[in-house]
Amino acid sequence: MATKKVVPLIIERSTPGRRGYRLPELDVPEIPLSQLIPEEHLRTEPAELPEVSELEVVRHYTQLSRLNHGVDVGFYPLGSCTMKYNPRVHEDVTSLPGFAALHPYQPESSVQGAMELMFNLSEYLAVISGLEATTLQPAAGAHGELAGLMVIKAFHAHNGESHRNEMLIPDSAHGTNPASSAMVGYKVIEVPSDDRGGVDVEALKKLVGPNTAGLMLTNPNTLGLFDENICTISQIVHDAGGLLYYDGANANAILGIVRPGDMGFDVVHYNLHKTFSTPHGGGGPGSGPISVSKELAPFLPGPIVQKEGDKYVFATPEHSIGRLKSFYGHFLVFAKAYAYILSHGPKGLREVSETAVLHANYMMRRLQDVYYLPVDRHCKHEFVLSGMWQRDMGVRTTDIAKRLLDYGYHAPTVYFPLIVDEAIMIEPTETEPKSTLDEFIEAMRAIAQEAKEYPENLTSAPHHTPVTRLDESRAARQPILRWQKP
């Protein structure tokens, strides 16, 4: 990261009369605007957009990009987000005009290749999950949750059980789980965790009942731990008439090792931008397909691709909940995920998970003497430490995170899951070389040492970044959310 200089806003570089792009000359006879659109509809003032040259645009964004960390820049151990390498060939093949320049309403006969891709990916995801049918429509993980919960709700309604309005969610769950449940009108029932980091089975038994619609679970959970009681848990929920929802954010731990369907789950969402390596893009686009059991397949949102003879057709499942998004979903994103699966094959996918898990355990064991490890057992693809020991020295987890930025790393996920005080959630992924893991371990150890000796190095961090620590409470207190004309 090169500069400490403030990059002006692009509008602050604007010069009246400057142009960055020219259209071809208008080649049809021009009719006066007022003859085409009545004045009452027309703007009186043009919108104040910047007036800059193409070079200024390129420089502006290049300068901004240099203020930003990404997987391409350095290690990005952001737990729960699976920041693995994004193969560039996947960008190339999916930007072919044969995919990127397709209109969603072209006749089916003219998009058979795109539909074949969707069909194949749907099948592959069903295979990986051990379930029956897939829709690619949801736009991201949280949208997949919404889709899955709506499917569950429709299933219960179809069976005359509309009274089932309670969704069980562990206290370790990601915030989208309860938020998605609320969006389908479910009451959220929190399930406590036990001291092994899993669902408290005794508590669960007491919480299920005639109103149970289902349970949402991440497995491995947000502590990075596999819930050993999963079969008992699914039995309890199913016996109560509920269904099991699998939050696939952590699927990078289980590819080819164990399938959610075999654990007893009825619905799974994938985050293609995590497990299947489609670029995170600074916050999106993601893609959150769901795979479901045979019983739930008729309720999937449509349209989905089916095969009739050697032709691919769009179809809407018999009792479909309806439509969750325009068109078919994030096609160009799932094209990249499809490429990822083909690049790896079954053995490669298993190797992905094995390596991700090995990396996480290696790092956990090399850090547990300097950071508190709340649950001491094998982790899966990520692990959660606590900054509790450092807190006693006057250093918070935020400070540790900010200090890591000085070392050239993105920080781990912090303060999540909520059940661990001062949580530090580290997910190395399988694509990092061991040397990077070792360097990061050394940085974490050095920071633990600093916390003892020079805590103010941490509390005043970061020091070497383009800006120093930013005042978040001021931003919220006096919101400035857009550029204002001076």
Ligand X SMILES: Cc1ncc(COP(=O)(O)O)c(C=O)c1O
The Cα 245–Cα 234 span in angstroms is 10
Looking only at the bridges linking them, the beta strands covering 243-248 and 267-270 are parallel
Q: Which is nearer to another protein, 30 or 453 (CB)?
A: 30
Facing residues of 168 across strands? 189, 215
Look up residue 258 and give its two tokens: 């164990």
Q: Which is nearer to ligand X, 200 or 247 (CB)?
A: 247
* Residue 427 binds ligand X, judged by CB under 6 A: no
Judged by DSSP in three states, 386 sits in strand
247: partner contacted, choices ligand X, another protein, none (Cβ within 5-8 A by kind): ligand X
The Cα 383–Cα 168 span in angstroms is 24
293: partner contacted, choices another protein, ligand X, none (Cβ within 5-8 A by kind): none
Task: Quote the least distance from Cβ 95 to another protein, whole Å.
Answer: 8
Q: Which is nearer to another protein, 203 or 342 (CB)?
A: 342
Residues 6+ apart with CB under 8 A from 121: 134, 136, 289, 334, 337, 338, 341
What's the gap between Cα 280 and its chain centre? 8
The Cα 11–Cα 49 span in angstroms is 7
Sole binder of ligand X in the list 60, 71, 75, 80 (CB under 6 A): 80
* Residue 247 binds ligand X, judged by CB under 6 A: yes
Q: Which is nearer to another protein, 226 or 371 (CB)?
A: 226
Task: Quote the least distance from Cβ 282 to another protein, whole Å.
Answer: 4
* Residue 141 binds ligand X, judged by CB under 6 A: yes
107: partner contacted, choices another protein, ligand X, none (Cβ within 5-8 A by kind): another protein
Q: Around 103, how many Cα atoms within 13 Å sit in the side-chain half-sphere?
A: 5
The residue nearest ligand X at its CB is: 141
446: partner contacted, choices another protein, ligand X, none (Cβ within 5-8 A by kind): none
Residues 6+ apart with CB under 8 A from 39: none
Biggest CA-to-CA distance, the chain: 78
Task: Quote the least distance from Cβ 250 to another protein, whole Å.
Answer: 13
109: partner contacted, choices ligand X, another protein, none (Cβ within 5-8 A by kind): another protein
Look up residue 344 and give its two tokens: 């790896």
CA distances from 315 to 118, 300, 303, 304, 319 (A): 13, 11, 5, 5, 12
* Residue 227 binds ligand X, judged by CB under 6 A: no
99: partner contacted, choices another protein, ligand X, none (Cβ within 5-8 A by kind): another protein
Task: Quote the least distance from Cβ 84 to another protein, whole Å.
Answer: 8
At position 452, the amino acid (one-letter code) is K
Task: Quote the least distance from Cβ 179 to ligand X, whole Å.
Answer: 10
Task: Quote the least distance from Cβ 175 to ligand X, whole Å.
Answer: 8
Task: Quote the least distance from Cβ 144 to ligand X, whole Å.
Answer: 7
* Residue 142 binds ligand X, judged by CB under 6 A: yes
* Residue 277 binds ligand X, judged by CB under 6 A: no
Sole binder of ligand X in the list 220, 256, 279, 286 (CB under 6 A): 286
Tell me which residues in 178-217 interact with ligand X (CB under 6 A).
none
483: partner contacted, choices another protein, ligand X, none (Cβ within 5-8 A by kind): another protein
Task: Quote the least distance from Cβ 215 to another protein, whole Å.
Answer: 15
**Residue in the block written with tokens 């397949």:** 297
112: partner contacted, choices ligand X, another protein, none (Cβ within 5-8 A by kind): another protein
Q: For residue 84, count CB atoms less than 10 angstroms from its CB and return exposed for 0-12, middle for 13-18, buried for 19 or more.
A: buried
390: partner contacted, choices another protein, ligand X, none (Cβ within 5-8 A by kind): none
* Residue 176 binds ligand X, judged by CB under 6 A: yes
Task: Quote the least distance from Cβ 177 to ligand X, whole Å.
Answer: 7
CA-only gyration radius of the chain, Å: 25
80: partner contacted, choices another protein, ligand X, none (Cβ within 5-8 A by kind): ligand X
CA distances from 394 to 262, 455, 456 (A): 46, 7, 9
* Residue 249 binds ligand X, judged by CB under 6 A: yes
Which of 391, 404, 388, 387 lies closest to 457 in space, CA to CA? Answer: 404
The sheet carrying 383-386 orders its strands as 383-386, 423-426, 413-414
Q: For residue 51, count CB atoms less than 10 angstroms from its CB and return exposed for 0-12, middle for 13-18, buried for 19 or more.
A: middle
* Residue 84 binds ligand X, judged by CB under 6 A: no
Positions that interact with ligand X (CB under 6 A): 80-81, 140-142, 174, 176, 218, 222, 247, 249, 271, 286, 288
